[in-house]
Amino acid sequence: DRLVDAGADGEDTAVEAALRPKDLHEFVGQEKVREQLDLVLKAARARGATADHVLLSGAPGLGKTTLSMIIAAEMEAPIRITSGPAIQHAGDLAAILSSLQEGEVLFLDEIHRMSRPAEEMLYMAMEDFRVDVIVGKGPGATAIPLELPPFTLVGATTRAGLLPPPLRDRFGFTGHMEFYAPTELERVIHRSAGLLDVAIDTAGAAEIAGRSRGTPRIANRLLRRVRDYAQVKAEGRIDRDIAAAALRVYEVDARGLDRLDRAVLGALLKLFGGGPVGLSTLAVAVGEERETVEEVAEPFLVREGLLARTPRGRVATPAAWAHLGLVPPQQGAK
């Protein structure tokens, strides 16, 4: 339940439906993906055809689910949403595929986590709109071909490189989603504030945007927490001071680091002189599991250029010292 986690929690799921942009014009940023997708969809509509399969790669919270819904809306098609981990058996996939309507969009989140047999069934379904349903076992097993209506698969993955090439090749279009610039997140925040009926000024939105780790889901979540604070302390109005004060309460700092991130960085600097220090030692020093430090805290610290993973261990960068307001030990001092 970290405020700066890019994954969706229960509250997000409930609120996000209201905050999702409904068409490509409302969708902020991602110019390249938007432009390319706009062409793909317009061309398909002009031909009266179902759109090509689309692969969206990018970190959680960048808008992959939202885009898949926009694709369906622009194609005036219904959408079915499922995920790789939810499809354990090829039969699960066959059941979904055979119940699709013509032109329907099937959104498959975390597509790289599908089981192997399901993946192989998907190859054929994507290419020929057909699946072979295996009936029976052993030598008596028979494959019954099943025709499918044409559909558009929208697959989402954190990294396109995780997909087996045969699967990757079957997508007509791949969109790479980037982290958002602070100015783009400001637009997301203003838009959401409008929908949530929250009064916020430009500096207030900028303050929240700078702490949102390039991720709209986090921006929307921080906005809701700042709104709570503003309701209690400032008659609901958000400006820079209110945003900063609220996020101080929630321990999200000016660069979007939270308590855990700062603990890891602080230990690295104060206890180990900036490293290099081994991951296990660092984890013990902050009282966390190795995995928590490595998978939860470090990716963002590395992305921000505050920490480097080297063969000799974890090392803080000069920016890390500056960020925590500490002075690095003198070069060459004994």
Enumerate residues 6+ apart whose C-beta is below 8 A from 312: 276
CB 260 within 8 A of CB 266: no
Q: Which of 65, 152, 157, 215 is catalytic?
A: 65
For the question of residue 233 being annotated catalytic, the response is no
Nearest residue (CB) to ligand ADP, 256 versus 275: 256
Query: Per-residue x/- marks for ligand ADP, 193-232, CB under 6 A?
Result: -----------------------xx--x------------
Options 5, 50, 64, 317, the catalytic residue = 64
**CB of residue 60 to ligand ADP, shortest distance in Å:** 4
- Residue ranges at the known binding site for ATP: 19-20, 61, 64-66, 127-129, 170, 180, 217
Residues near 152 by beta carbon (within 8 Å), at least 6 away in sequence: 50, 51, 52, 53, 54, 71, 75, 77, 103, 104, 105, 106
**Three-class SS state of 57:** strand
The answer to whether 217 is a known catalytic residue is yes
Interface with ligand ADP (CB under 6 A), residue total 19
DSSP letter assigned to residue 100: P
- 20 near ligand ADP, rule: CB under 6 A: yes
Nearer to ligand ADP, 17 or 141 (CB): 17
Residue numbers in the known binding site for Mg(2+) are: 65
Residue 13 bears catalytic tag: no
109 is annotated as an active-site residue: yes
User: Residues comprising the binding site?
Assistant: 19-20, 61, 64-66, 127-129, 170, 180, 217, 290, 309, 314
Query: Across-strand partners of 200?
Result: 238
Please name the residues in contact with 121: beta carbons below 8 A apart, sequence gap of 6 or more. Answer: 90, 93, 94, 97, 131, 132
Q: Which is nearer to ligand ADP, 215 or 317 (CB)?
A: 215
Q: Which of 5, 109, 258, 261 is catalytic?
A: 109
Q: How far apart are CA 284 and CA 256, in angstroms?
A: 24
Interface positions, 60-119, toward ligand ADP (CB under 6 A): 60-66
Tokens of 177: 């989603």
- Catalytic site residue from 213, 217, 227, 262: 217
Is residue 170 within 8 Å of residue 127, measured between CB atoms? yes
Catalytic residues: 64-65, 109, 158, 217
